[in-house]
Each structure stands twice: as structure tokens, then as C-alpha cells.
Structure 1
């Protein structure tokens, strides 16, 4: 269901469950957390992508969720598994990118929002439909949605459960760009890994006073020395 592949500094976590349109059961959320933990120091960017044409992910596995009606203890197990997978992605120390090249629904939107960038193909569609099923959405993911799109747009997506296209997602800030996700990933991977890691830490916690010292120290890096060699007398 979840594969990890590294090529030229781009680590790709691939969702591959075609019969269920990449719907993610509890086991897949745990597999995602395990795969994220195996991303090594050679990765300059991590991409979450789909191996299934036309769909990023249908979200949580509804066949599994249906059992939660009667299996009360399993409710917390589902919530904790989903949280483990999403937060494992959010904690990665390198830039992360969700490559949304088809439908991205429900819990899959939460997964995409855990990434630093969401790059949507022109045919991408987004929806958060739990209200249709009579359930809520995890509080941490509601907070990420509000941070991305604002209170009003978040309320519209959650309350109406309607799907929006890539252009609308870009307009409200749910998607950061429309284009070729692989091209964006390779542009990121072409940059210095130390600088990328530093910038990721700064974006994660802009108020950390330690960033000033880290910024100054970066002028002593081998990459900066090599990159500015021709400017020195």
C-alpha cells in the first residue's frame, strides 16, 4: 500500500491501493508512519504521490470505518493510526510535497496538508465530506485547514462537503501551485540539503531565536564557499 523510493535526492512515498482508489485503512496509516521513519539523510525532498491514475486518495477506508458504529474501542485506534501517519509526515526534517494529480478526499486532504507544499495537477479535485456521513474531522486537521485557507473557506469546505477543482483550491490557498509536481520536487532537490533543512526549521518555528545563529553559521558552509568562490578576489 505504501512504497518508499529514493532517486536523485527525491524520496517518494507512493500510495498504491488501486482496487480501493487508494483509500487508507488503519494498516496503511501505520505503514505510512513506518515509511516516513525510513527516509534517510540522502533525501532532499519527500513527495507523497499516487501510483493510481486519476486519484490521489479517496481518504480513509469507508469499509473499515463502517465497523466503528459498533466497535467503540476501534474508534480511538483509527484516530491514533491516522494521526501517527499524518504527523510522521509533518515531522520530516526536509521539505515535503503532496503531488495531487487526481481526486483528494476526506482524510487524504489532511495528509496533503501535513506537507509543506501541495502541488495540484490541473485535473485535481479536493473535498472534505465527513459531514455527509454524520461524523466530524480531526481537530488537528481542522486547525491546519484554517491555517491554510482561513476560517470562512474552511467552514465552506467542511459544512458543504462540496468538491472544488484545482483552480479554486489554488485561489483559496489549499493548493500552493498548479503544475507538474515532479518538476517542483526536482527543483527543490537541486538545492543544498543543509540550506533546505535550515529553511524547513525556520518555517516550522519562525520565532525560534536560535535561527539567527544558524543563519549566520550558514555563511561558513562548504556549499556557500563553493557557490561564491568566483566572487571573491
Structure 2
């Protein structure tokens, strides 16, 4: 295993068995995201993107109380005190947000405890969300007189539809993991004792699948959710062609005929 630290130790990163892992490490504040944690998460994602051995990424919170409980409100007076300050905050943190939203490799959110506000925004930017039964969700914007940006609201509507999005945003109330699963916000809810094993099984499956297929299918799903004018269909066609022209495609066919597990290389 390789271990790394960013944001003065508030972002921990590791690589093991083809899986890159980011841990939001501010448990004393229920892993609330500070400005430098956004920058640290981006640095960790860059590290994983450059390593061909990393086939997928997991995001999780330190401890057992929270995935990410939201933005670090203790910084609001300094960095989000008014509309102008909010614009500057968005500028500083946007690099990490955009990096996660546009990330090529599969990303899984391993959620336990509070997943609130901006923390839910992080989870919604991942591809697969697995939550423990004790998780709690919510977007308390209406209780703070703030509004979330278009991209986060669009992600919410894409996942749960406008009716549930209105309920979540307008009430600002918390809801439990089973409700999150019912409305489509998370893929699966499991007992706390099974969370690590469930995610480990999933990452092992993804790490064993063909990297070009994973990235191309992710790219295509994201394109489906965009307006037609914003879809780069040429890039999608090129990515599909690269899959069929790859050595991995040949390996997949041979492995199927030989009744063995394929050994994909991403080429």
C-alpha cells in the first residue's frame, strides 16, 4: 500500500490493489470540508489519474460519524460572508468540484453517518453510492438562507427527479438511508458491519474489469445527461472505437473462450 497526505493531513490518500482511496479526515468536525480540503481532494484525484494501476477510486469519511457533514461553517464568516465572498469561495473550490465531476475513472462514495449539504454534493458527483443503515442525508440550504449552484441542483434532479428534489431542498430536513435508497439518491444500503466488505467486493469487480470500457461507458452515461448541443459525440465514437481496437478486447475474447479470468492492462 502507498499512503499520501494532503491539506495538512485532512485529506488522506492511499493506493492498494488497484483502488485509490480518499479519506476526508476532520472527524472532530464530522469531516466538514474546508477550503484547503477541496484543494487536497483535487491533488489526490490527480495522483490517482496519473497512475495506470489505479482502476477505481473510493471516497469515505474518517471515523463513524460522517462521510462529509457539509462545508466547514466556521469558515463562512471569513470566506462566505456575502455574495462577493461566495463567488471567491466558488472560484477557489471549483477546481476540486470540476475535477470530481469530470473524473474519467469510476468513483464510489462509501457513506457512513452524516452526508449533508456539500457532502451530499460530493457523493452525488460520484458514480456509485453505497451507504450504511445509520447514514443520514439532507441539504439544509433553506435553514441557512443560501442556495446551491446549478450543477449541484441538476445532479440532484438527475438522480431523484424534480418532485423529490423540491422536497429535499425546500424542507432542508434530514432523511435516513432507506429513504435515500427509495428516492434513488444511493445505489444500495447495507448494515454497518457489511459496509467495508460490500465496497471491497465492488472495487474488486471494477478493478478486474476492462479500464477502457469503464471510462468509455462512464463518459457515455454523462453525455446522455447533457443537453444534446453539449455532447461531444465525436469523442464518444473515438472512445468506443478505441475499445474495439484494444489489446484488452482481444484478451477479453480469448479469456471468454478459454474460460478464465481476463488480465486487462488498459491498452
Normalising by structure 2, we get a TM-score of 0.79
Q: Are 1:111 and 2:129 matched, yes or no? A: no
Q: Are 1:160 and 2:171 matched, yes or no? A: yes
Shift in Å at residue 68 of structure 1? 5.1
Q: Are 1:139 and 2:165 matched, yes or no? A: no
Shift in Å at residue 210 of structure 1? 4.6
SS at match of 1:228: helix
* Contact 2:80–2:89, Cα closer than 8 Å, also in 1: no
Shift in Å at residue 36 of structure 1? 1.6
Q: Are 1:231 and 2:242 matched, yes or no? A: no
Q: 1:70 to 1:212 in 2, by over 3 A?
A: closer
Structure 2 counterpart of 1:169: 180
CA-based RMSD: 2.1
* Contact 1:46–1:96, Cα closer than 8 Å, also in 2: yes
What is the CA–CA distance in structure 2 between the aligned matches of 1:165 and 1:182, rounded to whole Å?
23
Shift in Å at residue 187 of structure 1? 1.7
Structure 1 counterpart of 2:213: 195
Q: Are 1:36 and 2:65 matched, yes or no? A: no
Which structure exhibits the higher relative contact order, with contacts defined as CA atoms closer than 8 Å and separated by 6 or more residues? 1
Q: Which deviations, in whole Å up to 9, do the C-alpha atoms of 1:143-201 show, x marking residues without a partner?
A: 11111111110010011111111111111111122233332222211212122122222
Match of 2:20 among 11, 14, 18: 11
What is the CA–CA distance in structure 1 between the aligned matches of 2:240 and 2:78, rounded to whole Å?
51
Stretch deviating more after TM superposition (2-11 or 181-190) = 181-190
Pairs aligned (count)? 232
Q: Which deviations, in whole Å up to 9, do the C-alpha atoms of 1:20-56 show, x marking residues without a partner?
A: 1101111111221222222122211111111221210
